[in-house]
């Protein structure tokens, strides 16, 4: 039986991957997570009793904890989802991003190298280290073109720079030490269990509470959106069929400006909870969720456009997203509206939806 160690498995993408791996493989899944503000056991409550699921609390930058993790659980693969990931937080406090995304990845690579070296030849050939990254490492696109696997790196935020550094470390450990590494770079994810500091859950929850919907700058920045379940299915495909030493871009082929995303969300919330029946809205004398849209000071160094070319994933591994943006976003709105208990639990004691990252 395969045994997967999933670092950062209590976070948004990691928790969705854990569910997918349990549902679509026979692998045993060991989650290793520091449980920071964005990583919560609430995200894994529905799989907590699964016989192939195990949880270990720990930090990927803790050398001894990582060594003990590998010695105890003897994985056939390590999947590194663990990362500080919010750009605005990286502007205000880059140190955590350096510590986790760069130093943590280094510690994990060194532990994996020592572990793999001690394996039998057969087990070493089967072992994989898969590092989950982002399209933000490539920088900003103009009005045309797409990110491909060979696009030069040009990160513009502390977050993106920390992920770019981690990608380079992973590649170097593959080239120098022969560690069988894989790298995936994805476009913006959305879907269930995303912490409410990110655009889509922030706008959904603010809308139903009749709070302002802040859009940075003029709202023209473009992102390519990928449903998290499709992303996780792609990662599992890379793990099973990807060629060691290769990197794979995963995108949703769903480019939208930020203002398009927010206005669409307003209309989807309206379909589920009409503004005229929402006491928060009526108390403000508002009849349309679009009336909540406000334009605020832009983020420093805000990349204008991201767009992924996922043709390598389609051609080599036969992966394509199963959700279009319209249906995926509708399902996401419905999930957040149906899971208010989760929303309250993960935000408890935190100012999760306040504006940060102004760089002042």
With b meaning 16 or more CB within 10 Å and e meaning fewer, what string describes 230-269? bbbbbbbbbbeebeeeebbbbbbbbbbbbbebbbbbbebb
- pLDDT by residue for the chain (360 residues), tens only, comes to 899 999 999 999 999 999 999 999 999 999 999 999 999 999 999 999 999 999 999 999 999 999 999 999 999 999 999 999 999 999 999 999 999 999 999 999 999 999 999 999 999 999 999 999 999 999 999 999 999 999 999 999 999 999 999 999 999 999 999 999 999 999 999 999 999 999 999 999 999 999 999 999 999 999 999 999 999 999 999 999 999 999 999 999 999 999 999 999 999 999 999 999 999 999 999 999 999 999 999 999 899 999 999 999 999 999 999 999 999 999 999 999 999 999 999 998 777 667 666 665
Residue 159 designated active-site: yes
Its pTM surpasses 0.85: yes
Report residue 64 CA to chain centroid gap: 26
Q: Which of 33, 135, 230, 270 is catalytic?
A: 135
Residue 138 designated active-site: no
Q: Give the span between the Cα atoms of 97 and 81, in whole angstroms.
A: 13
Q: Give the span between the Cα atoms of 115 and 340, in whole angstroms.
A: 42
Tokens of 248: 């794979």
Residue 99 designated active-site: no
Measured over the CA atoms of residue 290, residue 296, residue 299 and residue 303, the dihedral's sign is positive
Q: Give the span between the Cα atoms of 317 and 327, in whole angstroms.
A: 24
In total, the chain counts a number of residues equal to 360
Tokens of 75: 């994985």
Q: Which of 136, 224, 270, 303 is catalytic?
A: 136
Q: Which of 159, 190, 248, 306 is catalytic?
A: 159
């Amino acid at each position: 039986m395969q045994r997967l160690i999933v670092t950062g498995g209590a976070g948004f993408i990691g928790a969705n991957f854990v569910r997918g791996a349990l549902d679509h493989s026979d692998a045993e899944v060991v989650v290793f997570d520091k449980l920071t503000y964005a990583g919560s056991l609430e995200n894994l409550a529905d799989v907590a009793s699964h016989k192939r699921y195990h949880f270990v609390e720990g930090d990927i930058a803790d050398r001894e904890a990582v060594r003990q993790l590998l010695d105890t659980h003897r994985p056939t693969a390590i999947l590194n989802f663990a990362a500080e990931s919010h750009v605005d937080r990286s502007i205000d406090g880059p140190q955590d991003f350096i510590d986790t995304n760069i130093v943590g990845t280094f510690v994990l690579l060194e532990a994996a190298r020592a572990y793999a070296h001690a394996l039998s030849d057969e087990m070493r050939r089967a072992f994989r280290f898969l590092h989950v990254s982002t399209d933000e490492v490539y920088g900003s696109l103009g009005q045309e073109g797409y990110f491909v696997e060979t696009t030069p790196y040009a990160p513009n935020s502390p977050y993106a720079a920390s992920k770019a550094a981690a990608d380079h470390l992973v590649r170097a450990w593959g080239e120098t030490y022969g560690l069988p590494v894989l790298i995936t770079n994805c476009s913006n994810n959305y879907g269930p269990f995303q912490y409410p500091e990110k655009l889509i859950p922030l706008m959904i929850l603010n809308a139903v509470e009749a709070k302002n919907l802040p859009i940075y700058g003029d709202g023209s920045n473009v992102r390519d959106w990928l449903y998290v379940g499709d992303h996780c299915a792609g990662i599992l495909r890379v793990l099973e069929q990807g060629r060691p030493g290769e990197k794979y871009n995963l995108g949703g082929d769903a480019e939208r400006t930020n203002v398009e995303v927010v206005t669409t969300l307003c209309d989807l919330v309206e379909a589920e909870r009409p503004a005229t029946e929402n006491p928060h809205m009526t108390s403000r004398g508002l009849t349309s969720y679009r009336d909540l849209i406000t334009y605020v000071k832009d983020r420093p160094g805000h990349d204008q456009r991201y767009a992924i070319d996922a043709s390598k994933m389609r051609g080599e591994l036969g992966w394509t997203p199963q959700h279009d943006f319209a249906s995926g976003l509708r399902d996401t709105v419905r999930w957040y509206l149906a899971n208010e208990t989760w929303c309250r639990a993960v935000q408890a004691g935190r100012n999760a939806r306040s504006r940060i990252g102004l760089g002042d």
